Homo-oligomer: A and B are copies of this chain.
Amino acid sequence: MGIIEEFSKLCLNEKPLDGGICVKSLVFKPKTAKGAVPVPIVVVALQTTATPSGLIAQMTSLKDPRLARDELFESFFKCGSAKEFNLGYLSCAESKFHLLVDEKLEALDESVELQLNEQLFVRKGGLVAYLNRFEAQTVDFSQEVAKVEPKKKQETTSTSAALEDAKLIGITVDKALDFPGWYQQILTKGEMLDYYDVSGCYILRPASYAIWEQIQQWFDAKIKGLGVQNAYFPMFVSSRVLEREKDHIEGFAPEVAWVTKAGSSDLEEPIAIRPTSETVMYPYYSKWIRSYRDLPLKLNQWNSVVRWEFKHPQPFLRTREFLWQEGHTAHLTVEDAKQEVLDILDFYAGVYEELLAVPVVKGKKTEKEKFAGGDFTTTCEGYIPQTGRGIQGATSHHLGQNFSKMFNVSVENPLGSDHPKLFVYQNSWGLSTRVIGVMVMIHSDNKGLVIPPRVSQYQAVVIPVGITKKTTDAERSNIHASAKAIEDRLKKAGIRAFGDYNDNYTPGWKFSQYELKGIPIRIELGPKDIEKGQVIVVRRNDSRKYTVQLNELETRIPEILEELQRDLYLKAKELFDTHRVIVEDWKDFVPNLNRKNVILSPWCGVMECEEDIKDSSAKKDDGEELEQDEKSPSMGAKSLCIPFEQPELKQGQKCIKCSRPAIQYCMFGRSY
């Protein structure tokens, strides 16, 4: 243990005044043939540097690295657990390991103070000297695979997720082989989103926010048509109010973020940040609603909510802060309320199917999966082909009178004051930026983002082509002017178009660039096209080419965009349809899950049986690797929904799992 002591000598005696720059050290274990000894990978990087596992795999030529479990720390580094590990243990290593060091860390001044964990602080110079003993490899985590030396590239096996022809700026991970790595690259390189300094929070860059704006515009008009008005309620809620509906708060309590300080003063009482606004709003519904003439009250807000989940966060799908709309309505009759639940669900399905070209199945959640505190939940469920997992799209809840009784939202009986007062019937419904993640996962490919034209920030890019060294200045400016004229005509026709007339880049470079960003069509214009009075249009999704006459621009381009929109939908729908299978015999259940299907099975409707199905369909943990949430094959099947559209139930049909009679078909699947 001598060298651990030596490492401890490197450490500073006191915490630096500014805390020091945070440095993380991660240990990964690659996938190894059974029985073979794994070579661990240690990554030392600035806390703020993202260290994608796809890149780590590439840098080490090792397969599928995952965060190591305690066992490995114990057997390899002689260290009790992952938690106890620090860089001092490197000197205790059983045998050779890989050590990757963040280039950004190496770039710091020698005297900079670093924070390794809450107790360990060290100067950069000392740390790097220490690491270099272990043949540390410097890595530019922002540059990624294309910079790997040729030798290493050749070592890469054919099953590696790295794309053979990946360009420097392009996507370097194969969607089919490393879906999570691909998803991260596609979002960041496509400039949709960036990772943020606070874990679980992400930056929505203009390319994704513009999609949200399109959705807002469409949905907002729909709900205003139903008489819904927008409002804004505070993001804070006192604990007393938050905790008033017991079932409801039980569902959210573990994820609530609490403000306890303002400036340097402690607040008298901690204040929660809303995880959703039922309890924020309903005390005021109670105040505002006095008479049945005040009904229906239909309010909606576009806001952000915070759910401090401790599970593995994922851009758009599971984030600690997310944008959404939440509608909260109060009705005199249960019929009115229930009708609205379904109307809203249709709008949600419309957002997916009409705007995002994503097919969904509408249905009702089981008792186990419904919104805590409500009467029932309706949902539209999507499907991610690569993982074979279902994904909850958006939910519309009927709350019954549960909240109205709790918050005393009631009106005089229209029959007269001698009749008992009536508690209102309430709904709440929400759709979040998760929709963008689902859309990206479904349509995008190894060249980058594919975005349906109805929602994409830009629908068309105009690119001059055919300019060579022989092109004269006059010809060049003629091409540019013609291209600009096309751009202007498209804009005038209401198409979100732009042009790229930069002479410093080749057309090929530009093509890749806008493929990466998912611009639905590119419009090429060269000298020959000008002669012929035409442009070449290329679709992003399948590179299909069209020749469009200039005089037909304003009619053909919108048609091509709409065809593209429809084709995206049809392709996704076929995948969903062929991977949604009816299974009536339990022995076929898990094999079908493993074939990346979601399953429609006859079911008894009993909660214990649902739990049993989940347990029985989970692959048992083999003790080798930490469950990584985004690719876990060990996950059991949950009920996704009881689809409104039901296969016919046979006479005497039994539940798929237990001996009780089936009462309906339920859709099950592994899920997000």
Which A residues have a C-beta under 8 Å from some C-beta of B? 18-19, 22, 118, 142, 194, 196-198, 201-206, 209-210, 212-213, 229-238, 240-241, 253-264, 268, 270-271, 273, 283-284, 287-288, 293, 299, 303-304, 306, 308, 310, 320-321, 323, 457, 502
Question: What's the least CB distance linking A89 to chain B, in Å?
Answer: 21
CA distance A288 to B230 in the complex (A): 35
* Given known A-B contacts A206-B229, A231-B209, A284-B194, A201 and B261 have beta carbons under 8 A apart: no
CA distance A209 to B284 in the complex (A): 16
Residue on B with the closest CB to A262?
B308
Whether the pair B201, A308 counts as a contact (CB closer than 8 A) is no
Question: What's the least CB distance linking A168 to chain B, in Å?
Answer: 14
Copies, count: 2
* Given known A-B contacts A241-B197, A284-B194, A299-B206, A259 and B273 have beta carbons under 8 A apart: yes
Whether the pair A234, B196 counts as a contact (CB closer than 8 A) is yes
Question: What's the least CB distance linking A321 to chain B, in Å?
Answer: 6
| Residue from B204, B230, B263 within 8 A of A213 (CB atoms) | B230
Question: What's the least CB distance linking A45 to chain B, in Å?
Answer: 15
**Which secondary structure characterizes the binding site on chain A?**
mixed
Contacts of A263 in B (CB 8 A): 253-256, 308, 310
Residue on B with the closest CB to A271?
B198
Whether the pair A262, B255 counts as a contact (CB closer than 8 A) is yes
- Across the A-B interface, the 7 shortest Cβ-Cβ residue pairs: A262-B308, A206-B229, A201-B234, A258-B261, A254-B263, A204-B232, A198-B236
Residue on B with the closest CB to A204?
B232
CA distance A583 to B210 in the complex (A): 51
Contacts of A257 in B (CB 8 A): 259, 261-262
Question: What's the least CB distance linking A415 to chain B, in Å?
Answer: 16
**A201, A232, A320 — most chain B CB neighbours (10 Å):** A232
| Residue from B259, B284, B293, B320 within 8 A of A258 (CB atoms) | B259
Contacts of A234 in B (CB 8 A): 196, 198, 201-203, 321
Contacts of A210 in B (CB 8 A): 229-230
| Residue from B259, B264, B271, B304 within 8 A of A254 (CB atoms) | B264
CA distance A197 to B241 in the complex (A): 9
| Residue from B203, B237, B320, B502 within 8 A of A231 (CB atoms) | B203
CA distance A210 to B299 in the complex (A): 12
CA distance A302 to B320 in the complex (A): 19
Query: A198-B238, A204-B232, A253-B264 provided; 5 other pairs, C-beta below 8 A?
Result: A194-B288, A201-B236, A203-B232, A210-B229, A259-B260
